[in-house]
Amino acid sequence: MARLVVISNRVAVPKARGAAGAQGGLAGALNAALKKHNGIWFGWSGQECDSFTGDIAMQSGDGVTTATVDLPHQDVEEYYNGYANATLWPLFHYRLDLTEYERATAKGYERVNEQFADSVTPLIEKDDLVWVHDYHLMPLGDRLRQRGLKNRIGFFLHIPWPPTRLFVSLPYHERLVKTLLAYDLIGFQTEEWLDSFLHYCRKELGAEVDEATGRIAYDGTETVARAYPIGVDFDHLMGQLDTGEARQAAQRLASSTRHRTAMIGVDRLDYSKGLPERIDGIGRFFDRNPDAVRQLVYIQIAPPSREDVESYQQIRTVLEQKTGQINGARSEVDIVPIRYVNRGHSLAELCGFYRVSKIGLVTPLRDGMNLVAKEYVAVQDPDDPGVLVLSRFAGAAQQLEGAVMVNPHSPDDLAHAIETALDMPLAERKARWESMIGTVRDDNVHQWTERFTHDLERVPCP
Ligand code: ADQ
């Protein structure tokens, strides 16, 4: 089996798995693949330095070797806070209104991709499979090729790929996509994002595209693009559910909500997750059902993320205001309808919370996949499962058809979905859950890494 070199913006150092915080779904997924392939994980340490040295800190533990570099403040500002999170992230989540186009940050993005290529090239051996992750590092494959690498190099995009009409608002969009075609294999979360990418290649680049196989021929290169929906580490989740920590968390939540139904949301504090819109929907539900404050309590777990980006500071303020308004209007001496928890929790605690929450609310405005939806389904009690309310704009909606689907922009739709979930008879809850648990269990993260690396090993050698 070929050794695997994973390259992503941030690296979860050994043991960080499941630690409190909002690292995103990437960490758990990759550790599993790396353990199996005896791999190396390269990326930014998260630390800042005075000037870029390229010094690599290596660390081994738990079957995984990590190799990290520090970045100067200016690089972090331009590459990470700037181009990645204030240009690509909003644009790829269809938020042109929040997208910033700055030449300086675009240059910083290119520069850091060059630095990453310089640093990681000496770590890569002849037969290694190289797997690059996410929007921070789209040009990296091309930069590695420029340094003479002949390995098989794959790329996986964790976020959506926007429709061509939005994507062309990006200055130098062609250049970015051409660099992507330096990869041998490009993975997307869903067929929808894949279709958007193929459409762009055909219409804007004039590439030869075979929709059936995902083959893209352009300027003498050949690339394959396919959908690889990411999953959860199902067995690990079951293990977490079985811990004292999970049981205690479940008990704490159950006893504090007493006879009320717990409804839960777990998200990074990010505008793509539709949090203010969700609170509006909950507000509408209480307007329509004022007595339901004695029947339902909503728990929102949302630790801050990317706090250096302005749009992220705003969302926190908006969320606090909206929650405060509903609680101010509807609380009673012994009852608060919305609990907003502004910090992370361990995976075990989350499993405990999911298990006792009879409604899981996952309503992003746009999401590559969304692993919270799958985690919620995974840990439900088969004899008394809760109801997943899911945005039709999450990639997960294409697999989890047993969820109550909502349009997250519509407060009425959200309110109606909560009513439906609250009133749903046991037989229907079971039938819906049973229709989803198979894909959550079987299309898991191990199967995902297996499929991607299997295909990467087999694409024609460059
Ligand atoms: P994210 O946008 O971070 O990931 P998501 O898929 O929901 O979104 O993954 C979040 C992960 O972080 C989950 O495993 C969840 O348990 C954990 N998490 C979230 N909030 C937490 C909290 N309050 N405390 C502790 N842990 C928390 C990106 C894309 C997604 C895609 C993933 C994986 O945006 O669309 O599904 O990558 O590819």
284 alpha carbon, distance to own chain's centre:
28
In this prediction, residue 23 has a pLDDT band, given cuts at 50, 70 and 90, of: very low
Asked if residue 137 lies in contact with residue 5, where contact means CB atoms within 8 angstroms, the answer is: no
Q: Are 55 and 118 in contact (CB under 8 A)?
A: no
Looking at the CA of residue 158, tell me the nearest atom of ligand 1.
38
Residues taking part in catalysis:
158, 367
Q: Average pLDDT, whole number, for the chain?
A: 93
Query: 370, 388, 449: which to mutate for ligand 1, most atoms within 8 A of CB?
Result: 370
**Residue 27, SS3 per DSSP:** helix
Check: CB of residue 396 under 8 Å from CB of residue 305. Answer: no
Q: Is the pLDDT at 50 greater than 80, yes or no? A: yes
Q: How many A from CA of 50 to the centre of ligand 1?
A: 31
User: Is pLDDT larger for residue 167 or for residue 344?
Assistant: 167
Cα dihedral across residues 96, 99, 102, 107: positive or negative: negative
Q: Ligand 1 pocket: which residues have CB below 6 Å?
A: 22, 24-26, 158-159, 230, 266-268, 301-303, 344-345, 350, 367-372, 375
Q: Is the model's pLDDT at 401 over the cut of 50?
A: yes
For residues 28 and 455, the model is more confident at 455
In this structure, the residue with its CA closest to atom 19 of ligand 1 is 267
Quick one: what percent of the chain has pLDDT higher than 90? 85
36 Cα–ligand 1 center, Å: 23
Q: Which residues 6+ apart lie within 8 Å of 101 measured at CB?
A: 87, 169, 170, 171
Residue 461 — pLDDT band, cuts 50, 70, 90?
Answer: low
Is residue 399 within 8 A of residue 443, CB to CB? The reply is: yes
Q: How many whole angstroms separate alpha carbon 315 and alpha carbon 323?
A: 12
Per-residue confidence (pLDDT) for residue 26, from 0 to 100: 61
Residue nearest to atom 3 of ligand 1 (CA): 24
Residue with tokens 């996952």, as numbered in its chain: 362
d(CA 26, ligand 1 centre) in Å:
8
The CA 380 to ligand 1 mean position distance, Å, reads 18
Nearest protein CA to atom 32 of ligand 1, as residue? 25
CA 317 to chain centre: 23
Mean pLDDT computed over 342-353: 92
Give the strand order in the sheet containing 359-362: 338-341, 296-301, 261-266, 359-362, 387-391, 404-406
Distance 372 CA to ligand 1 centre (A): 6
* CA of 396, closest atom in ligand 1: 36
Cα of 421 vs its chain's centroid, Å:
25
> 367: which strand partners?
394
pLDDT score at 2:
85
Please give the sequence-ordered ranges of beta strands (E in DSSP) within 21-117, or none if there are none: 40-49, 57-61, 64-72
Contact between 337 and 297 under an 8 Å Cβ cutoff? The reply is: yes
Give the nearest ligand 1 atom to 273 CA: 2
Per-residue pLDDT, averaged over 168-176, amounts to: 97
Tokens 């801050």, residue located: 304
CA angle at 149 for the pair 148 and 150, rounded to the nearest 5°: 110
Say how many Å lie between the CA of residue 27 and the centre of ligand 1.
Answer: 10
Q: Is the pLDDT of residue 306 over 80?
A: no
Q: Which of 31, 268, 355 to mutate to test ligand 1, by most ligand atoms within 8 A of the CB atom? A: 268
Whether pTM exceeds 0.75: yes
Residue 111 CB neighbour total at 10 angstroms? 15
Report the nearest atom of ligand 1 relative to the CA of 23: 12
pLDDT of residue 308: 77
Report DSSP state, residue 461: P
Q: Which atom of ligand 1 is nearest to the CA of 20?
A: 25
Q: 32 or 403: whose pLDDT is higher?
A: 403
Q: What's the 267 CA to ligand 1 centre distance in angstroms?
A: 7
The yes-or-no verdict on residue 72 having pLDDT over 90 is yes
**Measuring CA to CA, which residue among 325, 327, 319, 281 is closest to residue 301?**
319
Q: Which of 188, 230, 372 to mutate to test the pocket of ligand 1 (most atoms within 8 A of CB)?
A: 372
